[in-house]
């Protein structure tokens, strides 16, 4: 086994939680307001990787802030009704209760923390850092630095911090920090395994839980 982690950081959407139904509804409300065609959920899942403040100016141009308002107004109305755990997520959190853990996501921070609370998982995480909680968003190092500071683990060697995600962007973010880049799933929605190039790869949360389960 590779050197075990001293800190675990997780992405949120498609890693621990599934809420693409709400994200697609919110994005399509914004697209509709601008006379643009809607996206299917799978298209949203494959393209919505960067934070809104980075992606919306390219999508919507000078009026991107109006699109942002429509998106968030819609998302706030529906997201707590549709969020659900990914298969194996509860097992993974149970198996890693001995480790300091945090979430670093490109979902807006307040919405992210509400979803964590909705699933009853607040107690699992010493840090929950979302978009706009740091000066820049993932894959920039800023939100990861903030998460480690909140956990009181800023001095942990980077190679002993594992960042667990589902996209090539997550793996890029981990490498920028010198973390172990750990992929859940096959990243088929983001170019596949070759593009993601993880340090470690697991089919799902159950497989990673088995790998990290403390041995007697």
Query: Per the structure block, which two tokens stand in for 141?
Result: 């190092």
Residue with tokens 């190092």: 141
124 lies in a domain?
Answer: yes
Number of domains making up the chain? 2
pLDDT attached to residue 215: 64
25 lies in a domain?
Answer: yes
The pLDDT tens digits for 97-142 are 999 999 999 999 999 999 999 999 999 999 999 999 999 999 999 9
pLDDT attached to residue 1: 54
Residue (of 64, 77, 17, 3) closest to 36 by Cα position: 64
Mean pLDDT of 40-57: 76
Q: Let me know whether 202 and 98 are in one domain.
A: yes
Rounded to whole angstroms, the Cα distance separating 29 from 36 reads 10
pLDDT attached to residue 54: 76
Q: Let me know whether 121 and 73 are in one domain.
A: no
Task: Answer with the one of 82, 111, 134 that is the final residue of a domain.
Answer: 82
Q: Let me know whether 78 and 107 are in one domain.
A: no
The pLDDT tens digits for 60-105 are 889 899 988 998 899 899 889 999 999 999 999 999 999 999 999 9
197 lies in a domain?
Answer: yes
Q: For residue 49, what is the enclosing H or E element? A: none
User: Residue 176's Cα: distance from chain center in Å?
Assistant: 16
CB hemisphere CA count around 75 (13 angstroms): 23
Here the CATH number for the domain that contains residue 185 is 3.40.50.1000
160 lies in a domain?
Answer: yes
Query: Per the structure block, which two tokens stand in for 42?
Result: 């799978």
Rounded to whole angstroms, the Cα distance separating 112 from 83 reads 11
The pLDDT tens digits for 170-180 are 999 999 999 99
Here the CATH number for the domain that contains residue 64 is 1.10.150
pLDDT attached to residue 170: 95
DSSP 123: G
Q: Which residue has the higher pLDDT, 164 or 22?
A: 164
pLDDT attached to residue 56: 87
Q: Let me know whether 102 and 189 are in one domain.
A: yes
Rounded to whole angstroms, the Cα distance separating 112 from 170 reads 17
Query: Per the structure block, which two tokens stand in for 105?
Result: 């996501």
Rounded to 5 degrees, what are φ and ψ at 194? -60, -40
Rounded to whole angstroms, the Cα distance separating 129 from 157 reads 20
Mean pLDDT of 142-154: 98
Residue (of 77, 72, 85) closest to 12 by Cα position: 85
2 lies in a domain?
Answer: no
pLDDT range class, residue 49, cuts 50, 70, 90: low
pLDDT attached to residue 122: 97
Q: Could you tell me if 23 and 48 are in contact, meaning their C-beta atoms sit under 8 angstroms apart?
A: yes
Task: Answer with the one of 82, 101, 123 that is the final residue of a domain.
Answer: 82
Q: For residue 109, what is the enclosing H or E element? A: helix 109-118
Task: Answer with the one of 32, 67, 82 that is the final residue of a domain.
Answer: 82
pLDDT range class, residue 207, cuts 50, 70, 90: very high
pLDDT range class, residue 45, cuts 50, 70, 90: confident
3-state secondary structure (DSSP) of residue 107: strand
Q: Let me know whether 61 and 11 are in one domain.
A: no
User: Does 157 score more than 70 pLDDT?
Assistant: yes
User: Does 44 score more than 90 pLDDT?
Assistant: no
Note down the domain range covering 38.
20-82
Q: Let me know whether 114 and 94 are in one domain.
A: yes
């Amino acid at each position: 086994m590779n050197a075990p982690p001293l800190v675990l950081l997780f992405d949120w959407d498609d890693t621990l939680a599934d809420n693409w139904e709400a994200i697609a509804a919110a994005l399509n409300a914004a697209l509709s307001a601008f006379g643009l065609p809607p996206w299917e959920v799978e298209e949203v899942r494959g393209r919505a990787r960067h934070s809104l403040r980075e992606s919306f100016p390219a999508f919507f141009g000078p009026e991107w802030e109006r699109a942002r308002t429509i998106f968030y107004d819609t998302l706030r109305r529906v997201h707590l009704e549709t969020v659900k755990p990914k298969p194996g997520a509860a097992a993974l959190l149970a198996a890693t209760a001995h480790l300091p853990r945090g979430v670093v996501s490109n979902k807006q921070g307040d919405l992210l923390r509400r979803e964590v609370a909705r699933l009853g998982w607040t107690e699992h995480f010493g840090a929950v850092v979302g978009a706009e909680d740091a000066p820049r968003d993932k894959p920039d190092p800023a939100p990861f630095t903030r998460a480690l500071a909140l956990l009181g683990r800023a001095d942990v060697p980077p190679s002993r911090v594992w960042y667990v995600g589902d996209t090539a962007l997550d793996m890029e973010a981990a490498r920028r920090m010198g973390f172990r880049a750990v992929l859940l799933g096959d990243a088929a929605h983001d170019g596949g395994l070759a593009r993601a190039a993880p340090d470690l790869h697991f089919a799902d949360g159950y497989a990673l839980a088995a790998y990290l389960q403390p041995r007697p």
